[in-house]
Amino acid sequence: MGKLALAIHGGAGTILRSQMTPDLEAEYRSGLESALRAGWEILEKGGSSLDAVEAAVVSLEDFPLFNAGRGSVFTHDGRQEMDASIMDGRNLKAGAVAAVRNIKNPIKLARLVMERTEHILLSGDGAADLAASAGVETAPDEYFFTEHRWLQYQEALAAGRVQLDHSKPIGTVGAVACDANGNLAAATSTGGMTNKKFGRVGDTPLIGAGTYADDTCAVSCTGHGEYFILGVSAFDVAARMRYKGLSLEDAARETIEHQSQIGGEGGLIAVDSKGNITLPFNSEGMYRGYVNNRGMNTGIYSD
């Protein structure tokens, strides 16, 4: 029997107090709080961790300031391509989509891959076919467009950067939860990297890298995706708990320390089946929050 717990993130990176206005900070916090409430409502009514993480991620996808769903960044050729994955720790099932366009909530499509296909990861047109046949809600390009992402893209194009812009937060959103039955689930969604090459797949849709859940823990990562792939970081937390006997907090800390060793920047959120929560990161900030029976918390900076 687990204690109810939900944690979310809205991306990690160089987030400095000096670059933030009070109004913008309040807006970010309200986005985080809305997502926490959306997931918590489900957990409180006895709903599953799977439903809770999906609802929290949908809320984060809908919020235009985070790089997922609405507000996703632009690829090198000016498109918005999104990735998402979800994993149900209760039965070790998972679904994911890569490089989907015009899907209002990519996390919902990832869940359909899990529930309606024999596959785990569908990319591009294959995922679009499933979306069309299942009647998944789409949205026009204008829905996803935000001016700040367009400006980031224009800047990156001008500078010839096909990499992360480390002066901006590294965008991903995610949620992990423990429900009343002690079942765990994790979900992650992203618009990827500004000015990324067409066809680049990061860690977000990769089970084990960006997302993982079993009966030990549920993990969602955010950061420089290539390093989280090399570290197999979401699964690595579970492996350190299961094989080394570490606590959730120690395992997650070691995973992020390994990221620092190999040059990766970012963070993760994780819960275990006792409702413990940890949110370590090695970047200058991470949009994050959690809620349990003792209350709700959000954070942005590293101090």
Contacting residues toward a copy of itself, per CB under 8 A: 92-94, 98-99, 117-127, 129, 162-163, 196-202, 206-209, 212, 226, 229-230, 232, 235-236, 239-240, 243-244, 262
**Active-site residue among 75, 146, 172, 216?**
172
Give 161-168 contacts, CB < 8 A, sequence gap 24+. Answer: 161/194, 161/195, 162/76, 162/193, 162/195, 162/196, 162/197, 163/193, 163/195, 164/13, 164/193, 164/194, 164/224, 165/194, 166/13, 166/14, 166/265, 167/14, 168/13, 168/14, 168/194
Q: Reply yes or no on whether 216 is catalytic.
A: no
> Toward a copy of itself, which CB reaches closer, 12 or 128?
128
> Toward a copy of itself, which CB reaches closer, 77 or 141?
77
**Cα separation, 233 vs 207, whole angstroms:** 10
What's the length of the chain?
303
| Shortest distance in whole angstroms from residue 131 CB to a copy of itself | 11
Residue type at position 169: P
> Toward a copy of itself, which CB reaches closer, 73 or 122?
122
Structure tokens at 220: 């969602």
Structure tokens at 88: 């149900």
| Shortest distance in whole angstroms from residue 137 CB to a copy of itself | 20
Structure tokens at 276: 């413990």
| Shortest distance in whole angstroms from residue 163 CB to a copy of itself | 6
By the 8 A CB rule, do 233 and 203 touch?
yes
**Cα separation, 51 vs 194, whole angstroms:** 30
**End-to-end Cα spacing for the chain:** 34
> Residue 241: how many CA atoms within 13 Å on its side-chain side?
24
> Toward a copy of itself, which CB reaches closer, 89 or 169?
89
| Shortest distance in whole angstroms from residue 114 CB to a copy of itself | 11
For 238, phi then psi, to 5°, come to -65, -40
> Toward a copy of itself, which CB reaches closer, 16 or 92?
92
**Cα separation, 114 vs 153, whole angstroms:** 33
If one counts every other C-beta atom within 10 angstroms of the C-beta of residue 169, the result is 25
> Toward a copy of itself, which CB reaches closer, 158 or 243?
243
> Toward a copy of itself, which CB reaches closer, 53 or 201?
201
| Shortest distance in whole angstroms from residue 53 CB to a copy of itself | 17
| Shortest distance in whole angstroms from residue 19 CB to a copy of itself | 25
**Cα separation, 51 vs 133, whole angstroms:** 22
| Shortest distance in whole angstroms from residue 80 CB to a copy of itself | 15
CA 12, 83, 272, 241 torsion: positive or negative?
negative
Active site residues: 172
